[in-house]
Amino acid sequence: MFRLSCVTAAVLLCALVPAAAQTPASSGPVDPVAIEELVVANRILADRGIIDAYGHASMRHPGNPNRYLMARAIAPALVTAEDIMEFDLDSNPVDRRGRSLFVERFIHGEIYRVRPDVNGVVHTHSMGVIPFGISQVPLKPVIHTASYLHVGVPVWEIREAAGVTNMLVNNAALGKSLALTLGNKPVALMRGHGNVVVGPNVRFAVARAVFTDENARMQAVALAFGGPLNYISPEEGAKRDSEPSDPARAWDLWKAQALKKLPAN
């Protein structure tokens, strides 16, 4: 049922909304603090090995919920404020100026469209999670810093959405399909590809991308021991969900590390 409706949606989209490829209006200047936050998010994801050349981070436009901000097509380690662009939720750029765009930007637009609670989205190929995306062993929380995984981590199978593809989420229909698999959860794995991680702001999304990868690596070690594992329980996870802690301590550290601004000796 899911497969059918998804494909149908794509066809209708192409047929009825060619205007989506037109240039949307700008939402006006963005607070430089927000831009800086997104640049730092990119640098942190690179510095911590969560994103290498491919993958991207975005934030919902602070002044317009129907827009999001993301870099032009460039590796996160190289992103500066000048690279940040504005997109509408169809993932059309406001002011392209000939720049290359991430072909998978639809991941971001389609999630922002259906998840009003989400203001930050990260897509990674982080090496810890790939094995879980191709296995039948579910990714589950082994440490409280990743307790948000207690709700389950769905695996998006692009073959179910569109058959044989080049594996990329390079159109709106695929973005919608991934967003549907993600549902109301914080993380979805993408089979043979990576994951998508969301949060109420870009800091949360970044922290979850980091902790999800660490959790996956530690769970893989524990699985090799062979016996039953004592995961964070759904009740514990739910309690932590209701008592969210701001990831400022991690952010401040990771930012200082990524920007090479640790204290002098």
Provide the annotated active-site residues: 104
Shortest distance, position 39 Cβ to a second copy, whole Å = 10
Distance CA 193, CA 258 (A): 25
**Residue ranges binding a second copy (CB under 8 A):** 52-54, 73-75, 77-78, 80, 125, 127, 130-131, 133-137, 141-145, 147, 157, 159, 164-168, 191-194, 214, 217-225, 227-233, 235-236, 239-240, 243, 249-250, 252-254, 256-257, 259-263, 265
Shortest distance, position 135 Cβ to a second copy, whole Å = 5
Closer by beta carbon to a second copy, 39 or else 89: 39
DSSP assignment of 185-252 equals -SEEEETTTEEEEEESSHHHHHHHHHHHHHHHHHHHHHHTT-S---PPPHHHHHHHHHS---THHHHH
Closer by beta carbon to a second copy, 24 or else 194: 194
Shortest distance, position 67 Cβ to a second copy, whole Å = 24
Identity of residue 14: C
Shortest distance, position 66 Cβ to a second copy, whole Å = 28
Closer by beta carbon to a second copy, 61 or else 203: 203
Closer by beta carbon to a second copy, 140 or else 176: 140
Q: Bin 168: left if φ > 0, else alpha if -120 < ψ < 50, else beta.
A: beta
Distance CA 240, CA 147 (A): 7
> Measuring CA to CA, which residue among 166, 139, 148 is closest to residue 223?
139
- Cβ-based neighbour number of residue 73 at 10 Å: 16
Task: Report helix, strand or coil for 84.
Answer: strand
Closer by beta carbon to a second copy, 16 or else 265: 265
Q: Assess contact for 223 and 180: CB atoms under 8 A.
A: no
Shortest distance, position 256 Cβ to a second copy, whole Å = 6
